[in-house]
Amino acid sequence: MNKKKVSILGCGWTGNALYKKLISKYEVNCLCKDIEENDRCGFYDVDVLVIAIPPKNNYLEVLKQTLQKTHKNTYIILLSSISFYKNRTIVVDAEKLIQKESSKYVILRLGGLMGYDRISGKYTAGKTLDNNTVTNYVHRDDVVSVIETLIKKQIENEIFDVVAPIQSTQKEIFSLNANRFGFEKTSFLDDNPIGKKISSLPLIEKTGYKFKKNNVLDFW
């Protein structure tokens, strides 16, 4: 039986980890967003295409060209963002484009990607922030495993939020990590938590997925 062919557009922090996870089970290509170069190596002639490039610069144009070159029966997984809920135009437009142009897709609205060398609180060490917001983080291992689950189950035409089930606040997790890793704590002008908590419950119910990193306080 021939292995399923998977292409990953974007070999950054998440795309590269996904490549390493899938390579033993599928024929996997992981390339940058050079449309013409990708075309020459058969990048678009695949069963599954994972779009894992960040929404910046010529993002929408790259998506349009990618969809034009991809077969209509290719299963497309778009790594989107929960910034959709803040009406970030480029993210909203990208999701609309996928829904319009693809007949087999799933959109994953990822929370803040964390884990390994991405340590929450590290980049604001010693600084003072205005508000203590609710976290909506997801560990990279879970993003990779969710994608693997969707490739296996081929759940089509759905949109899922992907965040760890148990969240926290910036103040709590920044303080914990400052003690754990030895950097300065972040201060907040207002300690009262604000912000909307995102839920992965629809993803869990539809796919049966069990998070590896259930609690954001256990990411590191």
CATH number at 60 reads 3.40.50.720
Query: Does 19 fall in a domain?
Result: yes
β-strands 187-194, 112-114 pairing = unpaired
Q: What is the dihedral of CA 85, 86, 89, 94, to 10 degrees?
A: -30
pLDDT for 8? 96
Q: In the prediction, which pLDDT does 99 show?
A: 97
Domain membership flag for residue 72 = yes
Residue 165 reports pLDDT greater than 90: yes
Distances (CA, A) of 174 to 79, 119, 198, 212: 26, 9, 19, 21
**Could you tell me if residue 31 is inside a domain?**
yes
Distance of alpha carbon 195 from alpha carbon 86, whole angstroms:
11
Residue 59 near residue 33 (C-beta atoms within 8 A): no
Record the tokens describing residue 176, joined without a space. 């914990």
User: Is residue 179, in this structure, part of any structural domain at all?
Assistant: no
pTM, to two decimals: 0.94
What tens digit of pLDDT does each residue of 12-47 get? 999 999 999 999 999 999 887 555 665 556 789 999
Residues 6+ apart with CB under 8 A from 20: none
Q: Is residue 181 part of a domain?
A: no
User: Does residue 169 form part of some domain?
Assistant: no
Domain, as residue range, for 49: 1-110
Any domain includes 122:
no
Q: pLDDT tier at 126 (50, 70, 90 boundaries)?
A: very high
Q: What is the pLDDT confidence band of residue 56, given thresholds at 50, 70 and 90?
A: confident
Number of domains in the chain: 1
Q: Is residue 6 part of a domain?
A: yes
Among positive and negative, which fits the CA dihedral 150, 151, 155, 161?
Answer: positive
The gap from C-alpha 99 to its chain's centroid, in whole angstroms, comes to: 18
